[in-house]
Structure 1
Amino acid sequence: MKEAMFYERLEEDAVRCHLCPHECKIKESRRGICGVRENQAGVLYSLVYGKVVAEAIDPIEKKPLFHFYPGSSVYSLATVGCNFRCRNCQNYDISQMPKDKKRIMGEEKSPEEIVEIATHYNCRSIAYTYVEPTIFFEFAYDTAKLAHQAGICNIFVSNGYTTEEAIRTLAPYLDAVNVDLKSLSEELYHTNCGGHVQPVLDAIKLYKRLSIWVEVTTLVIPTLNDTEEEFRGIAEFIKDVGVDIPWHISQFYPTYKLMDLPRTPVSTLRTARNIGLEVGLRYVYEGNVPGEGNENTYCYHCGTLLIRRYGFQVLENILSEDAKCPNCGTPLDGVFCGSAQP
Structure 2
Amino acid sequence: MKVCRDCLLKDPDRALPIVRKAHAEARKDLGLPPEPPSNGVKCDRCVNGCRIPEGGVGFCGVVRNEGGRLVVEHRGSFYLDPHPTNCVGAWVCPGATSAGYPRFTDTEGPERGRYNLAVFYGGCTHHCFFCQNHEHWTTRGEIKPEDLLSRMTDPDVTCVCFFGGDPVPHLDQVLEVGERFEEAGVRVCLETNGSMNPSLCRRVAEICYESGGGFNTDVKAYNPEVYEALTGSSPEYTFKHLEIVGEEFAREDPPILRPSTLIVPGYVTPEEVEAVAEFLASIDERIPYRLLQHVPHYLSVDLGYTPTSVMLECKRAAERHLENVDACVYVHV
TM, length-normalised to structure 1:
0.73
CA distance in 2, matches of 1:249, 1:46: 32
CA distance in 2, matches of 1:134, 1:60: 25
Q: Residue 76 of structure 1: CA displacement?
A: 1.1
CA distance in 1, matches of 2:202, 2:160: 19
CA contact (8 A) 1:125 1:152 kept: yes
SS at the partner of 2:246? helix
CA distance in 2, matches of 1:268, 1:121: 43
CA contact (8 A) 1:81 1:131 kept: yes
Report the equivalent of 1:321: none
Report the equivalent of 1:64: 88
Q: Residue 161 of structure 1: CA displacement?
A: 0.7
Alpha-carbon displacement from aligned partner over 1:204-244 (angstroms, at most 9, x marks no partner): 11111231610110000111112x32222121111111111
Q: Residue 58 of structure 1: CA displacement?
A: 4.5
Q: Residue 107 of structure 1: CA displacement?
A: 4.1
Matched, 1:157 2:157: no
Which residue of the other structure, out of 264, 273, 286, is the alignment partner of 1:244?
A: 286
Give matches, 1:119-138, under 5 Å.
Answer: 119-120=153-154, 122-138=156-172
State the percentage of identical aligned residues.
21
Structure ranking higher in strand proportion:
1
Give matches, 1:268-279, under 5 Å.
Answer: 268-279=310-321
SS at the partner of 2:131? coil
Give matches, 1:142-291, under 5 Å.
Answer: 142-174=176-208, 175-211=213-249, 213-226=256-269, 228-279=270-321, 281-289=322-330
Q: Residue 17 of structure 1: CA displacement?
A: 0.5
Alpha-carbon displacement from aligned partner over 1:24-69 (angstroms, at most 9, x marks no partner): 0111111111111111111111111xx4325341435522222221
List gaps (5 residues or longer) in structure 1: 1-12, 98-103, 292-342
List gaps (5 residues or longer) in structure 2: 1-38, 98-109, 251-255
For residues 241 and 108 of structure 1, do their structure 2 counterparts lie closer, same or farther at Cα, with a shift above 3 Å needed?
Answer: closer
Q: State the one-letter code of the partner of 1:278.
A: R
Matched, 1:16 2:59: no
CA distance in 2, matches of 1:206, 1:105: 33
Q: Residue 23 of structure 1: CA displacement?
A: 0.8
Structure ranking higher in helix proportion:
2
SS at the partner of 1:260? helix
CA contact (8 A) 1:186 1:197 kept: yes
Report the equivalent of 2:126: 84
Q: What is the aligned length?
A: 268
For residues 222 and 180 of structure 1, do their structure 2 counterparts lie closer, same or farther at Cα, with a shift above 3 Å needed?
Answer: same
Q: RMSD in angstroms over aligned alpha carbons? A: 2.2
Matched, 1:139 2:173: yes
CA contact (8 A) 2:258 2:288 kept: yes
For residues 40 and 139 of structure 1, do their structure 2 counterparts lie closer, same or farther at Cα, with a shift above 3 Å needed?
Answer: same
Alpha-carbon displacement from aligned partner over 1:149-194 (angstroms, at most 9, x marks no partner): 2110110111011111111222321230011111112122212211
SS at the partner of 1:53? strand
Report the equivalent of 2:79: 55
CA distance in 1, matches of 2:194, 2:121: 17
For residues 41 and 83 of structure 1, do their structure 2 counterparts lie closer, same or farther at Cα, with a shift above 3 Å needed?
Answer: same
CA distance in 2, matches of 1:178, 1:29: 33
CA distance in 1, matches of 2:303, 2:61: 28
CA contact (8 A) 2:47 2:236 kept: no
**Runs of 4+ with deviation above 4 angstroms:** none
